[in-house]
């Protein structure tokens, strides 16, 4: 760890905790890029995090996630609480240009220090998207935000994992979506603590909500090894995010879910988040070691043999591990 990285991290962390939003933004960029500054800052901030309520919001394309997030921000601010948003965009897996979409409307909060919105590309997180978003949430948590919303599209494995790792996971649906979307929905429902039928002013909203309630009665309790208790089946709410209808009830439901979790054992999600984060760092460390100047040539020669099918990947992996352990 370079001393200047540690110094820079201390400056940025102290400024971010003190309310400097530019410093906070820079810190989050460091987290996304997994720099040494990010590591030093997280070491420093981590012990003070753990107070915020992390809420994952996910659902298929077109269900209105961004509009609902905007409506929730308004509701949370009306209640005098602070809120940060991490929006994992359906953006390029390669160049990572994050799209703004209808998030532009949120620029009306530009002068409000209690609202912070951050887009995060879904690509290129070596240790996994969940690890990066967890680290970003820890920074926002330490910076004192009451509520942290993590918005992801609900159609990719990594993206669903991100939302499922929150304290409370909201799955959004919209009435009358297509068949393929229905298929996606079945998987999503299993990670839901709350289900929201958005676009409640559209025909079919009540019917969709009734169908979902029936599905959730029929389905078994969560079978995912998640130790979080599911004291009762997920509530199904109807919102019209565009008008704000149902949004106060959604916020109340989020608060209820949190207090139930606190009384019971909400540590399952926290333990899973900790493991994802620690594991990503372990993997980073090991990968760096295999590609450092002492090992890079041997690593690349091995990978080339595998690519040419002259060596199987298990033997290659064993040789890499032996090599890295020999120093």
Q: Which CB contacts under 8 angstroms, 24+ apart, belong to 13-22?
A: 13/41, 13/44, 13/45, 13/142, 16/45, 16/139, 16/142, 16/143, 17/45, 17/48, 17/142, 17/143, 17/144, 19/113, 21/113, 21/116
- Total residues contacting its own copies by CB under 8 A comes to 85
Scan residues 19-38 and list those touching its own copies (CB under 8 A).
none
Token duo for residue 17: 């905790």
Residue 227 in contact with its own copies, rule: CB under 8 A: no
> Rounded distance, CA 264 to CA 253, Å?
16
Residues 6+ apart with CB under 8 A from 257: 167, 168, 193, 194
- Beta carbon of residue 145, minimum distance to its own copies (angstroms, whole number): 15
Residue 314 engages its own copies in binding (rule: CB under 8 A): yes
Q: Which of residues 134-163 bind its own copies (CB under 8 A)?
A: 135, 153, 155-161
> Are residues 170 and 58 in contact, defined by beta-carbon separation less than 8 angstroms?
yes
Residue 221 near its own copies by CB under 8 A = no
Q: Is 233 in the site for its own copies (CB under 8 A)?
A: no
Note whether 49 binds its own copies by CB under 8 A: yes
3-state secondary structure of 55: strand
User: If binding is defined by CB under 8 A, does position 62 make contact with its own copies?
Assistant: yes
Question: Which 161-220 residues touch its own copies, going by CB under 8 A?
Answer: 161, 164, 178-181, 183-184, 186-188, 190-191
Of 131 and 149, nearer to its own copies (C-beta) is 131
Q: Choose, by CB under 8 A, the member of 263, 286, 288, 296 that binds its own copies.
A: 286
User: Dihedral, CA atoms, 149, 84, 100, 184, nearest 10 degrees?
Assistant: -10
Instruction: Please pick, from the candidates 10, 215, 216, 271, the single residue that binds its own copies as defined by CB under 8 A.
Output: 271
Does 10 sit near its own copies (CB under 8 A)? no
Q: Of the two residues 26 and 125, which places its CB atom closer to its own copies in the complex?
A: 125
Q: Which of 224, 231, 259, 263 binds its own copies (CB under 8 A)?
A: 224
Q: Is 39 in the site for its own copies (CB under 8 A)?
A: yes
Q: Is residue 47 involved in binding its own copies (CB under 8 A)?
A: yes
Helices (H), 143-203: 157-164, 179-189
Query: By three-state DSSP, how is residue 150 classified?
Result: strand
The one segment of 26-34, 44-52, 111-119, 201-209 that binds its own copies by CB under 8 A: 44-52
**DSSP letter (8 states) at residue 233:** P
Contact 235, 168 (CB under 8 A): no
């Amino acid at each position: 760890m370079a001393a200047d990285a540690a110094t820079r991290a201390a400056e940025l962390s102290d400024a971010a905790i003190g309310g400097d939003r530019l410093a906070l933004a820079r810190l989050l960029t460091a987290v996304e890029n997994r720099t040494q500054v990010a590591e030093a800052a997280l070491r420093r901030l981590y012990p003070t995090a753990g107070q915020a309520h992390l809420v994952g919001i996910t659902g298929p394309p077109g269900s209105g996630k961004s509009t609902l997030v905007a409506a929730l921000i308004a509701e949370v601010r009306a209640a005098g609480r602070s809120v940060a948003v991490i929006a994992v965009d359906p953006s390029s897996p390669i160049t990572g240009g994050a799209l703004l979409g209808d998030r532009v409307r949120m620029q009306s909060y530009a002068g409000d220090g209690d609202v912070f919105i951050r887009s995060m590309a879904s690509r290129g997180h070596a240790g996994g998207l969940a690890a990066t978003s967890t680290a970003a949430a820890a920074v926002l948590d330490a910076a004192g935000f009451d509520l942290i919303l993590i918005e992801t599209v609900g159609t990719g494995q990594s993206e669903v994992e991100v939302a499922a790792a929150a304290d409370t996971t909201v799955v959004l649906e919209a009435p009358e979506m297509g068949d393929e979307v229905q298929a996606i929905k079945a998987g999503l429902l299993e990670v839901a603590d709350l289900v929201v039928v958005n676009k409640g002013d559209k025909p079919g909203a009540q019917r969709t909500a009734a169908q979902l309630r029936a599905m959730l009665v029929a389905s078994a309790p969560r079978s995912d090894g998640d130790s979080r208790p599911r004291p009762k089946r997920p509530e199904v709410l109807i919102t019209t995010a565009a008008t704000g209808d149902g949004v106060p009830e959604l916020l109340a439901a989020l608060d209820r879910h949190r207090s139930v979790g606190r009384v019971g054992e909400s540590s399952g999600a926290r333990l899973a988040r900790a493991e994802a984060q620690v594991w990503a760092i372990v993997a980073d460390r090991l990968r760096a070691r295999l590609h450092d100047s002492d090992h890079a040539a041997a690593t690349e020669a091995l990978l080339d043999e595998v690519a040419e099918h002259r060596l199987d990947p298990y033997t290659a992996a064993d040789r890499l591990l032996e090599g890295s352990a020999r120093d």
